[in-house]
């Protein structure tokens, strides 16, 4: 993956990629006082490009700032326009988009209310996050020894940069042990989410995902819930335990980067037949049609360039 492109939107200006720099004493580098988004722009079947669920991502971006108490210094409409502009400025038909807001240079120390909140939006080409093979055949996941955030330790509805130390620890732990992705349990021991994805299971064609209590409210999760219900699947948002995952017929992750990735194995136990199951394949097919603009029903989820 190369992060090098032409332009980055930075504090209201379109700057050269090389010039989008910050000072080493910026508050966020020291304390993790930043929040971000992950959005995808897709090349559509008809040759156009569209950003997937842009409004929902920008809204969550603003919500993150509100939760943390470092509000976004731009309106939602300004951020929306800036996102579309930076994609256009880089002449990419398809890319990952990373808005980031961070507490910048000013005072040092934890209480720095006068420091500026700087905002940038970068884009780069990013293929299948968990591999093309993973999208087809499923990946191997392991439950991490690290607990996911307790709701009153970190606020999980904010996509706060600081929250991701926990994800990095979990992901590194399981990658070093030879697995592809980390599943994390909440402080009470129930399944929460993965290091960078939400999680679903299927048993007897009933689809289940964790409630929003202690997870990031994933926009892909929301899309899959909507698609599954529209297709007539019974879908519940309910707590479940790791043994329920072991005995599921199918399981999968959802996320902007990971899209819809089947899980073929958890903690060395094959899930169902040990490969992508029929419900997963069905939802994945519809999801891919939707993001490629091949399904009229969800056309409002696309913001054309």
Catalytic residues: 159
Q: How far is the CB of 111 from ligand PPE (least distance, A)?
A: 27
CA distance 203 to 17: 47
For ligand PPE, which is the closer residue by CB, 180 or 197? 197
For ligand PPE, which is the closer residue by CB, 33 or 198? 198
Q: How far is the CB of 224 from ligand PPE (least distance, A)?
A: 9
CA distance 166 to 156: 11
Residues that bind ligand PPE (CB under 6 A): 38, 167, 193, 196-198, 216, 218-221, 254-258
For ligand PPE, which is the closer residue by CB, 140 or 221? 221
CA distance 51 to 293: 11
CA distance 48 to 94: 10
Q: How far is the CB of 106 from ligand PPE (least distance, A)?
A: 27
CA distance 23 to 156: 28
For ligand PPE, which is the closer residue by CB, 118 or 210? 210
Cα first-last separation, the chain: 23
CA distance 302 to 305: 9
Q: Report the candidate in 268, 242, 224 with the shortest Cα–Cα distance to residue 52.
A: 224
């Amino acid at each position: 993956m190369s992060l090098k492109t032409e332009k980055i939107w930075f504090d209201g200006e379109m700057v050269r990629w090389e010039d989008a720099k910050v000072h080493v004493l910026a508050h966020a580098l020291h304390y993790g006082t930043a929040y971000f988004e992950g959005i995808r722009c897709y090349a559509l079947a008809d040759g156009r490009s569209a950003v997937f669920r842009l409004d929902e991502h920008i809204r969550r971006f603003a919500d993150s700032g509100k939760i943390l108490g470092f509000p976004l210094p731009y309106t939602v409409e300004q951020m929306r326009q800036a996102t579309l502009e930076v994609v256009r400025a880089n002449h990419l038909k398809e890319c990952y988009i990373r808005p980031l807001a961070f507490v910048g240079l000013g005072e040092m120390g934890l209480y720095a209310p006068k420091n500026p909140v700087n905002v940038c939006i970068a884009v780069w080409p990013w293929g299948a996050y968990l591999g093309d093979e993973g999208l087809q055949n499923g990946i191997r996941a392991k439950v991490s020894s690290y607990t996911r955030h307790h709701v009153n330790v970190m606020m999980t509805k904010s996509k706060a940069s600081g929250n991701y130390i926990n994800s990095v620890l979990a992901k590194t732990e399981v990658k070093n042990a030879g697995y592809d992705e980390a599943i994390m349990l909440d402080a009470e021991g129930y399944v929460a989410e993965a290091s960078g994805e939400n999680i679903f299971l299927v048993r007897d064609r009933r689809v289940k995902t964790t409630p929003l209590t202690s997870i990031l409210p994933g926009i892909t999760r929301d899309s899959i819930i909507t698609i599954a219900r529209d297709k007539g699947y019974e879908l519940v948002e309910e707590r479940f335990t790791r043994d329920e995952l072991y005995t599921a017929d199918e399981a999968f992750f959802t996320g902007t980067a990971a899209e819809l990735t089947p899980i073929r194995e958890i903690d060395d136990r094959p899930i169902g037949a040990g490969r992508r199951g029929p419900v997963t394949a069905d939802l994945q097919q519809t999801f891919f049609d939707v993001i490629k603009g091949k399904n009229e029903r969800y056309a409002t989820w696309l913001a054309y360039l």
